Structure 1
Amino acid sequence: MTSRLADADPLGRIIPYLGGHPAVTAELGGPERVGPDNKPPYPRLLVSDAPGGSENLQAGLLGVPVRLEALGPLDGTLGKARLRRILYVALGVLAELPALPVGPDDVVITDVGSSVAGGYVPLADGRPRYVATVMVAAHAPYTP
Structure 2
Amino acid sequence: MVLSLSSSDAGVASSVRLNCYSNPTDLANCVRGMKKIGEWLRTSALKPYKVQNLPGVEGFKYLGKPLPNNQTDNTAFERFCLESKGSHWHYHGGSLVGKVLDGSFRVKGIKALRVVDASPFSTTSASHPQGFYLMLGRFVIRTCNH
Tell whether the structures are fold-level matches, with TM greater than 0.5: no
- State the TM-score bracket (shorter-chain normalisation): under 0.3
Which structure ranks higher in relative contact order (CA pairs < 8 Å, sequence separation ≥ 6)?
A: 1
Q: Which has the larger helix fraction?
A: 2
TM-score by length of 2: 0.25
